[in-house]
Structure 1
Amino acid sequence: MYRHGVLEAEGFPVGNVSDYLTDPDATVWLDFCGPTEEDLAAISEELGLHALAVEDAVHEHQRAKLDRYDSHAFLTVYAATLDDERGVLTVSELAAFITGQALVTVRKDENFAIDEVVARWDAAGELAKNGVGFLVHGLLDYVVDGHFAVVQALDEQIEALEDLVFDERPRYTDMQRRSFELRKSLVRVRRIVLPMREVVNAIMRRDLNIADGEMQPYFQDVYDHVLRASEWTESLRDLVTTIRETQLNIQGNRLNTIMKKVTSWAAIIAIPTAVTGFYGQNVPYPGFQTATGFWTSTLVIIILSAGLYVAFKKRDWL
């Protein structure tokens, strides 16, 4: 609980929230992790939360949004982190009830790093006097910065994938798997980043009285980051598609080159094969009409065939 921007109490029971809110200078933050509707019943009664909003807060996979009700607003956002080694995206959902004096956050799991949000609030204590607007800004700032960091990491991984495309000996299976994972991650990022433009824009509306006065420039900064992340995501999505098409074109060109080489060797070998096959080896040679000659020729065929196979495999022709 903050009063006049100063942290005065924490760790208190839910039943005390209504007592604190009788003071117009008090601002309360309450956090839940993985609650049920029954767990939210007490605070729902304390703050007069709408039943539909409480239901959305409990159920997962809501769209990033801001819904307005008579006594409060309901916010849904997603934090994201990226596994740099595999290019796999991890998403954590958070719902929030925003009233005039209280912010209630509902985390769907432990993956949402709420401690980092608290650290942002503590680092900007001079803004705490702005009440709920200060808390909402810190929450959105953490979420949007996470989106921006994920998009930046995806950009770096896509650049690394570009270098692999033009490698002298590319590993096509690894490239295909990598590009597929990056494309899936980009699709998921796009789903959580694009709606944030509408969310932040709605929060900045003056009739909500959240981004008023001193907090307005800070929310504008968050909105600018949202726009940059959205535009960056769209460009990366097109870039991954271009890389995949380039990879297929290069693979096709290399296949044509390999076919030229193989065809050339086949033509060279076909001439002596045709001559000896037509005339037959009807003159004496080492091992003629002996078992030793048969086994020697068989061994030569096996060795030369194995040598060609190894050479072709090394050059990725097979």
Structure 2
Amino acid sequence: MTKVTGRLWRDGEPRDDEFTFDTISDCLASRDQLVWADIYDPDHDALLALAHELQLNMWAVEDAIAPKERTKAAVYQTHTFFTVYALDVRDTAGDSDSMLVKHRISAFVLPHGLITVRLPSNGGEHPAFDIGEVSRRFDELGGQSHGVGALVHGLLDVVVDGHFDAVQALDDAIESLEDELFSDTAPSHGLQRRTFRVRKDLVDLRRVVLPVREVVSTIQHRRLDARTSPELDPLYADLYDHVLRASEWTESLRDMVTTVFETNLSLQDARLNTVMKKLTGWAAIIAVPTAITGFYGQNVLYPGLESVGGFITSSALIVVLIVVLYVMFKRRDWL
């Protein structure tokens, strides 16, 4: 069901009680007003009507509601369009469940307003993205005096902070895998499955985080071309630095989880070799009494037959050879 929320500022002062969806175009036409409209689970026809009224690019509108759209930014004559994914970290019930919940946010950046379009996460199975945090971040920035650039910065800042939380969670998960991998006890049977799950989460995270660099750079240069709000330059530079850090951290985690995956396989091969060596050593030791008693069990005459001396000789030979083999294998770390 479509849900529309928004905020309105006039001359830098909030006028949220005056915001209505029907007056968005009038608010955007006024230079002394700043409007933000957030549309959750939009109706296709209503969104197309709004796009026609605001002269938004129809291809961008289709991208805003199309399934599985990638992170990107595009500049048009009257507005800038971008799509990003916010991330939440959830507790997993099983070894194969993903830790990440993705929230897709598309935005149309106009000279005096911002229109965000959000779709339900994973078909509505998970709670929606907290868009109120963007509004609070905007108020903390005092962005009314900086225009729509500050509002876009608040949105991207919240999204990138969520990326850092997701990267930190996956970093902790990899450290947990490493601790279990090199623990004194043998790793559990689910280690390989959890490693594969973290690896898949990192692939999804990489697809979400890396293209944000292009989005931030596009918006920043578009804003600089308009020569507005130079006070935001350090904030956008800091935001871009955060995006780079998140990207580099993601790449390093990708190498780490690959190393864990390969190390686990190597340790399994090493443990298998150890087991085979032990089995081979004990098989050689057990073969000694089997061979000697088998020889003495032949139906032929031989020295010591049916005598105590023969029994003592065969028993002593078995014990001596077993001790010799045990000491030899022990020195070679086969037992």
TM-score, with structure 1 as normaliser: 0.83
2:71 aligned with 1:60, yes or no? no
| Counterpart residue number, 2:132 | 115
Where do residues 42-81 of structure 1 align in structure 2 (5 Å cutoff)?
42-81=49-88
Q: Is the 8 A contact 1:28 1:101 kept in 2?
A: yes
Deviations 1:128-177 (A, max 9, x none): 21111111000000001111111111112111111111112223521101
Match of residue 187 from structure 1? 203
Equivalent residue runs for 1:138-149 within 5 Å: 138-149=154-165
Task: Tell me the matched-pair count.
Answer: 283
**Equivalent position SS for 2:129:** coil
Q: Does 1:239 align with 2:246?
A: no
Deviations 1:154-206 (A, max 9, x none): 11211111111111222352110111011000000100111011110111114
| Residues 40 and 197 of structure 1: CA distance in aligned 2, closer, same or farther (over 3 Å) | same
Percent identity of the aligned residues?
49
Q: Give the structure 2 partner of residue 128 of structure 1.
A: 144
For 1:102, give the aligned amino acid: G
**2:42 maps to 1:35:** yes
Unaligned 5+ segments in structure 1 are: 285-318
Q: Distance in 1 between matches of 2:53 and 2:69?
A: 24
Q: Tell me the distance in 1 between the aligned counterparts of 2:39 and 2:30.
A: 23
CA change 1:137–1:10 in 2 (3 A) is farther
Q: CA deviation at 1:281?
A: 10
Rounded to whole Å, the distance in 2 between the matches of 1:68 and 1:170 is 55
Give the match for residue 193 of structure 2. Answer: 177
Which 10-residue stretch deviates more, 219-228 or 153-162? 153-162
Does the alignment pair 1:91 with 2:102? Answer: yes
Are the structure 2 counterparts of residues 211 and 37 from structure 1 closer, same or farther at C-alpha, using a change threshold of 3 Å? farther
The 5 A counterparts of 1:187-266 are 187-205=203-221, 206-209=223-226, 212-266=229-283
Maintained 8 Å contact 1:32/1:106: yes
Deviations 1:201-232 (A, max 9, x none): 11111455387311111111110000000011
Counterpart Cα distance in 2 of 1:138 and 1:210: 19
State the partner residue of 2:123: none
- 2:26 corresponds in structure 1 to 19
CA contact (8 A) 1:80 1:92 kept: yes
Indicate conservation of the 8 Å contact 2:143/2:151, yes or no: no
**Can you list the C-alpha shifts for 1:260-304, whole angstroms capped at 9, x where unaligned?**
2111111111222233334349999xxxxxxxxxxxxxxxxxxxx
The 3-state SS of whatever aligns with 1:173 is coil
More displaced stretch, 84-93 vs 161-170: 84-93
Asked whether the equivalents of residues 24 and 35 of structure 2 are also in contact (C-alpha less than 8 Å), the reply is yes
Q: Which amino acid aligns with 1:240?
A: V
Distance 2:128 2:15 in 1: 28
CA contact (8 A) 1:17 1:46 kept: no
How many Å separate the matches in 2 of 1:112 and 1:214?
Answer: 28
Q: Does the 8 Å contact 2:105/2:118 carry over to 1? A: yes
User: Contact 1:65 / 1:77 at 8 angstroms: preserved in 2?
Assistant: yes
Aligned residues of 1:76 and 1:96 also touching (Cα < 8 A): yes
Alignment of 1:258-297 (within 5 A): 258-280=275-297
Deviations along 1:96-129, whole A, 9 cap, x unmatched? 11100110000011522212222212333x2221
The letter for the 1-side match of 2:287 is A
Is the 1:211–1:219 Cα contact (8 Å) retained in structure 2?
A: no
Contact 1:37 1:54 in 2 (8 A): no
Alpha-carbon offset, residue 21 of structure 1: 2.9
- Where structure 2 has 5 or more consecutive residues not aligned to the other structure, the ranges are 1-7, 121-126, 300-304, 307-335
Distance in 2 of aligned mates of 1:143 and 1:274: 74
**Counterpart amino acid of residue 143 in structure 1:** V
From the superposition, tell whether residues 99 and 245 of structure 1 become closer, same or farther in structure 2 (CA, over 3 Å).
same
Tell me which stretches of 4 or more aligned residues in structure 1 moved more than 4 Å.
Answer: 84-87, 281-284
Which position in structure 1 is the counterpart of 2:309? none
Distance 1:47 1:216, change over 3 A: same
- Please give the root-mean-square deviation of Cα atoms over the aligned residues, in Å: 2.2
